[in-house]
Structure 1
Amino acid sequence: MDRESAQRIVLGDVEIIRVVEWQGPFAPARDLVPAAGAALWKDNEDWLAPDHWDPASGAAVMALQTWVLRSAGRTVLVDTGVGDGRERPRSPHFHHRRGDFLGDLERAGIRPGDVDVVVNTHLHADHVGWNTHAADGEWVPTFPNAQYLLAAADDFHFGPRNAYGGGRNEEDRLVYEDSVAPVHRAGQMLLWAGAHRIDENLLLEPAPGHTPGSAVLRLASGGDRAVFVGDLLHSPVQILDPACGSCFCLDAEGAAVSRRRVLERAADARELVVPAHFGGAGAAEVRRQGSGFALAGWAAGGTA
């Protein structure tokens, strides 16, 4: 995607703007979605390549992106990417990364002070990084006027009360301390459980498995529907076989249950499915096919 433009879609009364922080080959596809056999990728090469899979290298192609929603007079960000200058020693794509994400937002017409709500679909490094930025040697909220929304289950699991994810991954502590704790200290964090309505168009609902507090954001405006699914889907092959989890799922079985439930509703209610990491058009329409699902089409979106 050209840095001088942003993809825009209008659903009902809600404008959706896609801002891409990074896009390219990310990891071996068979490592990213271990249960997806070689045949699943090869048999669908005609539409997986080049936006979602590079057959030559075998790498999954992914995007790091933020979805900006203009809804009910407010500006809502869905996930905030990787951030700048972070210590992520186990994540080569994220470690000490430098980029122009805030410039990309501004070119799309969004300044930090304009943002009213920040939704973190879950607490992983590539979804909370721009929650904060460095100022005078400290991490402070990037969006000074925003309320940040995070599921209480993820805050508990990755925060100090559960010793930063049980201490299994040192980066969990780093992510919490530089991207979440400063928002708490600033009094801008709202932890939610059960469900949380943002406005008449937007509703947060739990979809646990990938992390304990993984969430989806449902959009319903006029006759249009969409569901922002975070990391329930890392690759379109998981639409074809929702039993296939990613290597990053903390509870693979729970994630599969949530993924199938969300895809069933999306197919039946004609919700546009908007994952966090799809390249190409970035969002997809799905339909039922036998006991599973198939791709019905890609989102259409202009640039501005």
Structure 2
Amino acid sequence: MSRRRPTVSTSPSWTVGDLTVHRVDEIPLPPATGAWLLPAATPDVVTGHDWLHPHFADAQGVLRLDSHSFAFVLDGLRVVVDTGIGNGKERANPAWHDLDTDYLGRLTSAGFPPDSVDLVILTHLHADHVGWNTRHENGRWVPTFPRARYVTSRTEREFWAGYAMDEARAQMFRDSVLPVEEAGLLDLVDTPADGATILPGLRLLPTPGHTPGHVAVELTSRGETAVITGDCVHHPVQFAAPAVGACVDIDPVRSEASRRALLGTLADTDTLVLGTHFAPPTAGRVVRHEGAYRLAPVPPVAPVAPAPVAP
């Protein structure tokens, strides 16, 4: 009997040393998202930075944002970073409510069927980053990745445990966080100032402010480095204007400080930046520009066959 040849993944991907990092798309976010999320990024501000057009904003200064995950194989383990909004979730934001996307199909075609995933990294516990933690089966929410360990910052989980949640956030925890905890799959890690190593080549970088325990994700392989931003940076306009913050930042001052520190560290280096909400081309390098920064896009590599899944 001949063995079935691996299907070539159509997910955009980038190489970091021996790693291939896939972007697994969920949905483009509606045009109104940018004005709501980053209110200081007015059309005048956006159109003042020509390099944002056409990829990251339209000619009228309307920002483009996406919801997606990143996935890669490291040391033989299949890793997913952030899990998007999820299907069938009851959400106050109409753009996130009761979605029906083929996210799991795209994840599988990239070489990461849910039962094969070993590790899920959650940069923070917001609704658009934890939604596919669970899926609805037989009338209840169950972990989407039953063999995986889900990892987030201890500071993050403890903050929300003591937070007076409104009903919308409480619902998100009920359907997307508590089922993972109740299954014994959630691991909390301490994230000191110099970061927390989860695996050789995978480190969580504390970038607090958007939420108290927010982390970015650093990958290293064969002398090459990439950083997945999470919501420390929502959109490349914040490279040019780091003071532009998100309306949902818990601590805006600290969020700006984290963003400036991260961009300053990455500027004019070969580190690949992968934006958790950046529209295509999604990845690039930080370049000093006009007293701040810009993103120099790096296009994805040609499609490749995903790594075989171990039985």
Q: TM-score, normalised by structure 1?
A: 0.90
What is the rounded CA distance, in whole Å, between the counterparts of 1:156 and 1:116 in structure 2?
24
- 3-state SS of paired residue (1:77): strand
The Cα RMSD (Å) is 1.8
Is contact 2:71–2:80 with CA below 8 Å preserved after alignment?
yes
Tell me what 2:138 maps to.
Answer: 136
Amino acid at match of 1:106: T
> Which residue of 100, 103, 106 corresponds with 2:102?
100
What is the rounded CA distance, in whole Å, between the counterparts of 1:142 and 1:38 in structure 2?
39
Which of the pair is proportionally richer in strand? 1
Tell me what 1:173 maps to.
Answer: 170
Amino acid at match of 2:224: D
What is the rounded CA distance, in whole Å, between the counterparts of 1:98 and 1:294 in structure 2?
35
Structure 1 residue 262 displacement after superposition: 0.8
Structure 1 residue 50 displacement after superposition: 3.9
Is contact 1:9–1:17 with CA below 8 Å preserved after alignment?
yes
Matching of residue 49 in structure 1 with residue 53 in structure 2: yes
Is contact 1:131–1:179 with CA below 8 Å preserved after alignment?
yes
Tell me what 2:229 maps to.
Answer: 229
What is the rounded CA distance, in whole Å, between the counterparts of 2:14 and 2:33 in structure 1?
31
Amino acid at match of 1:215: V
Tell me what 1:301 maps to.
Answer: 301
- 3-state SS of paired residue (2:264): helix
Tell me what 2:69 maps to.
Answer: 66
What is the rounded CA distance, in whole Å, between the counterparts of 1:198 and 1:187 in structure 2?
18
> Which residue of 23, 28, 37 corresponds with 1:23?
28
Structure 1 residue 37 displacement after superposition: 4.1
Q: Percent identity?
A: 38
What is the rounded CA distance, in whole Å, between the counterparts of 1:26 and 1:150 in structure 2?
30
Amino acid at match of 2:62: A
Pick which of 123-132 and 96-105 moved more. Answer: 96-105
Structure 1: state its 5+ residue gaps: none
Tell me what 1:187 maps to.
Answer: 184
Structure 2: state its 5+ residue gaps: 1-8, 305-311
Q: TM-score, normalised by structure 2?
A: 0.88
CA deviations over 1:128-154 (Å, ceiling 9, x no partner): 000011111111111011000011222
Is contact 2:28–2:65 with CA below 8 Å preserved after alignment?
yes
Tell me what 1:82 maps to.
Answer: 85
CA deviations over 1:23-42 (Å, ceiling 9, x no partner): 15342544332223433211
Q: How many residues align?
A: 293
What is the rounded CA distance, in whole Å, between the counterparts of 2:17 and 2:33 in structure 1?
38
CA deviations over 1:228-247 (Å, ceiling 9, x no partner): 11011111110011111112
Pick which of 110-119 and 242-251 moved more. Answer: 242-251
Tell me what 1:9 maps to.
Answer: 14
- 3-state SS of paired residue (1:191): strand
> Which residue of 5, 22, 35 corresponds with 2:40?
35
Is contact 2:41–2:237 with CA below 8 Å preserved after alignment?
yes
After superposition, residues 271-286 of structure 1 pair within 5 angstroms as: 271-286=271-286
Amino acid at match of 1:64: S
- 3-state SS of paired residue (1:60): coil
What is the rounded CA distance, in whole Å, between the counterparts of 2:297 and 2:54 in structure 1?
16
What is the rounded CA distance, in whole Å, between the counterparts of 1:8 and 1:31 in structure 2?
29
What is the rounded CA distance, in whole Å, between the counterparts of 2:76 and 2:126 in structure 1?
29
Structure 1 residue 299 displacement after superposition: 4.1
Pick which of 169-178 and 293-302 moved more. Answer: 293-302
Is contact 1:153–1:212 with CA below 8 Å preserved after alignment?
yes
Amino acid at match of 2:27: W
